[in-house]
A = this chain, B = another copy of it.
Amino acid sequence: MNRIITESNQTQDHSFVLKGHIVYTPSPEEMTCLPDHYLVCKEGYVEGVYQDLPQAAAHLPLYNCGDQIILPGMSDLHVHAGQYAYRGLGMDLELLDWLNEYAFPEEARFSDEDYAQKLYSLFAERVRHSTTTRLAAWGTIHAPATEILMAELAAAGLKGFVGKLNMDRNSSPAVTERTASSLADTEAWIERTKHRYPGIEPIITPRFIPSCTPELLQGLGELAARSGVRVQSHVSENLQEIAWVADLEPEAQSYSGAYDRYGLFGSTVPVIMAHMVHPSPHEWELMLQRDVTIAHCPASNMNVMSGLAPVKAFLDAGVQVGLGTDVAGGFCISMCRAITDAIQVSKLRAHLVATGQMAGALSSVGGSAGVGQNREAEVADTASAPRGQLTLTEGVWLSTKGGGRFFGKVGSFEAGYEFDAVVVDDSALCKALTFNLTQRVERLIYLYPEVKVSAKYVAGKKVL
């Protein structure tokens, strides 16, 4: 007989059982929905999902989640913690204007550690209450403030990577570093913070090519190779920006190629690249050859008018891809909204491609046929399902197992995965009809502001 444990007497066991409606996506095509099942956590890892509790788990504490839905924790692959304070502002501007008018002035404030403490503790608390368990977060150029962010996220029980930004050109003076000190500060910060904050590790974060000199990029690439520390950055977001990068890096074959020249595109360490809205043929090739995960950020791509990224083509071609909220280019911290935004944007793209109003992947940059283009055109030509849009299952997969891959075996309830789970109470939704579990999942994702994350586990540790 299991001990029945209520919220109030629950302890920090790392081996336990959750009972409830278990949902996960083992693949982009499959959503496994298991009503009233047992999800067994053994020392922080998923042991299995069972209709009847196995004898071997009978001695473990059992938390009965009742009629609630248990989903894998979600991974936010791209979020600017240093922009949290002003999300939902300046949305009438395009990317480069928005950076100058809002992002840079706000990020400059993080030279003040008290301000950083206040903001980052708000940010971490907010993420703690969301469906996000893992994140790749951006701080600012300031190492002390960024270390505060690491401490706050670790204290909230979240896991992931945090970047101190590097910027030594084309930025406002208050957020522009000298090349040598940018490199030295970054190396010292990595030394100081590596393995220091449980579950939160440093990540090398050149802002983007326009704000980093070749010398800085070269130094960061060497640092990554030397230290094994991973890398995150932005790539091919906006056509104006892409043209600028082509001017700045005339020898590179593409925007991604520019990073690659400096060892910053997955040739030595795993890399997250945010956006990739307009991949060129060369970039398609590089994405498939290197250890690069694309953070698709649909909200921000709409808000700063970047365009419609070919996310479905990425998925079909085997590009490693997940989702990012991109706060504050995105205004919403919820990964549920990132899922529905991704689906909506993919539908518009599929509609435009299917009706001949927009060419498939690649043609916007005038390239020759490549992996993504062929596939996207093929799918668009098929009258029957599946069309070129993301399904709900694919959206959930991207936010869990797709993005989770960057953090290890994360984002599924298959045996051996780290035990990241969110318990969702959807009782506030109108229940005039009887919905099956799959339908309840769709509704809780679409109607996310009306549901509540009532409990959350990260690698088996209860953090909410």
Kindly identify which residue among B85, B351, B392 contacts A305, using a CB–CB cutoff of 8 Å: B351
Q: How far is the CA of A285 from the CA of B307 in the complex (A)?
A: 31
| Residue A348 lies at the interface, judged by CB distance under 8 Å to chain B | yes
Contact A446 B91, beta carbon cutoff 8 Å: yes
Q: How large is the interface on A (under 10, 10 to 19, 20 to 34, 35 or more residues)?
A: 35 or more
- List chain B residues, Cβ under 8 A from A87: 443, 446-447
Interface string of A214-251 (1 = CB under 8 A from B): 00000000000000000000000001000000000000
CA gap between A339 and B177 in the complex, in Å: 39
Give, as a whole number of angstroms, the nearest-CB distance from A358 to chain B. 5
Minimum Cβ distance to chain B for residue A337 (Å): 9
Q: Do B439 and A302 touch across chains, with their CB atoms under 8 A apart?
A: no
Q: Which of A286-326 contact B (CB under 8 A)?
A: 299, 302-303, 305-308
Q: Which of B89, B90, B391 contacts A92 (CB 8 A)?
A: B391
A352-B352, A442-B88, A447-B331 are known contacts. Are A347 and B122 too (CB-CB below 8 A)?
A: no
Contact B392 A84 (CB under 8 A): no
How many angstroms from the CA of A90 to the CA of B446 in the assembled complex?
11
20 further A-B contacts with Cβ under 8 Å, apart from A85-B433, A305-B347, A307-B357, are A85-B430, A87-B443, A87-B446, A87-B447, A89-B439, A106-B433, A118-B432, A119-B432, A239-B355, A302-B344, A302-B347, A302-B348, A303-B344, A305-B350, A307-B348, A307-B351, A345-B348, A357-B358, A357-B359, A357-B364
5 A-B pairs with the lowest CB-CB distances in the bound complex, closest first: A449-B449, A88-B446, A302-B344, A88-B443, A85-B432
Which residues of A are in contact with B by a Cβ distance under 8 Å? 84-92, 106, 115, 118-119, 122, 239, 299, 302-303, 305-308, 331-332, 340, 343-345, 347-348, 350-352, 355, 357-359, 364, 387, 389, 391-392, 430, 432-433, 435, 439, 442-443, 445-447, 449
Can you list 13 A-B pairs with a CB-CB distance of less than 8 A? A84-B430, A89-B443, A91-B340, A115-B432, A299-B344, A303-B347, A305-B347, A305-B389, A308-B348, A345-B348, A348-B348, A352-B352, A357-B364
